[in-house]
Structure 1
Amino acid sequence: MLSGRSAVVTGGAQGIGLAIARALVAQGARVVIGDLNEAVARQAVEDLGGDSFARFSLCDVRDGAMVERLLDTAEEAFGPVDIFVNNAGLTRDATLRKMSEEDFDAVVDVHLKGTWNGVRAAAARMRERKAGSIVNISSMAGKVGNIGQTNYSAAKAGIVGLTKAAAKELAYRGIRVNAVQPGFIATPMTETMPEHVKQQKMAEIPMNRVGTAAEVANVVVFLASDMSSYMTGAVLEVAGGRFM
């Protein structure tokens, strides 16, 4: 579905980001991973088939100049960017009483400002060709909130608002901006959760199972492809019916 297209995935070295990169390559795209973990990212490039299919660019999404260099790398390697996926993130969990201002700022800066940097930079280049798909990774935490995640929940909710505002601004230029809200997905981070927390989350899922990173990636591919050509400003939940 994506043959001949150039894509960028921030935070694409592991977890959901790597699954997204893998799914894009499987559908014919060429992908540049932006990440801060160089060793893991270079291994991801090899796993994706090497330099003919993927490249890596060191990128801190909080830094607009580094995001621009990420796009430069993609254009030099594979041509004008058709798909940009804002996936980079981190967590600094604590209750409201215990959370430091630094931990609040760190999470909001990476998730929300980082997504803004990505949307802004990608859209500036896509405008010239009047085409492009931007996919932002939010979270169900941005819909319902999670205890101990006021920073993360606020940032992920902000991504939804950013997505809709950008979609309205960019639609007339042929650029689509959509978001995905994953629920309880099997990742290294969720595997470390205490068992009682896992069971509580499972009880909230009508499909009665944990989702996979590949299932999130498949929805990103759909939004990146022409199969969703009349969709913009949409927020798709990949959560097994949780909090529907």
Structure 2
Amino acid sequence: MTATRLDQKLANIKADPSGAKDFIICDAKDSDMGFGLAHAGPVHDAEGRPTGRLKGRIEFLEQIREIVKQDIVDLMLLSVSNLHRLAVQERLFEGSAMGTAIRANDTTDVWAVRHTAYRNTPALPFRTAELRHALPGRNGERGADIGLYAVTFNNDVEADRQALQAFKEFRRECEDLGFSYFLEVFNPNAPKDLSPEAMPFFVNDCIIRCLAAVPDHVRPKFLKVVYNGPKAMEELAGYDPGLVVGVLGGSSGTNS
């Protein structure tokens, strides 16, 4: 197992939750799992104007290679196909202290492909990835150090029950394979009978409740959540010093 900056920083934070100054940066390059062909964005000309063409996989992979060369981020999050290309076939992360991660599931609320309305209904669990495909290669090629598993609760009893059941099955597979994960909890995408004021605390309660029966060795290495204001964040982060809480980046994660 490769020693990574992520491992060291998490260890520092857990050893001194209130005093550690470590700051973990994850670069999410898993957009192909949600947006399909359009995920890499448009191609612009020399003047910055859209050309009408979308970037392809070759251009997207080159962006990732350039970021890895910079060696600034602590964790690179990829789809399994791109992890296999870069980590196994190219050995891009050979000798690097940068952590490697895969998006381990793709619930329906991340299905953001063009001309669809999937995200307007309560999130349902789904998993394209198979963890065995993310393990180190037979010849010592580096695989994924960790996986990202995402859940979304909507106060919809059947959808939320399905989410919890799928999460349980995932944890069992992680335990069997000795695979680590971190847990991403989105805000409700189609909330049922939840006011905006109640929503952050509903999410906090769902997080703690879904981990209550999970022993330490199968718990997520850290959480990735939306920042819902100081009160909700302080409540969640202060509940259990052993549970490291990270914040989702981008417009949906840091706009409060």
- Asked if TM exceeds 0.5, the reply is no
Query: Whose relative contact order is higher, 1 or 2, with alpha carbons under 8 Å and at least 6 apart?
Result: 1
TM-score bucket (shorter structure): 0.3 to 0.5
TM (norm. structure 2) is 0.37
TM (norm. structure 1) is 0.38
> Highest CA radius of gyration, 1 or 2?
2
More helix by share: 1
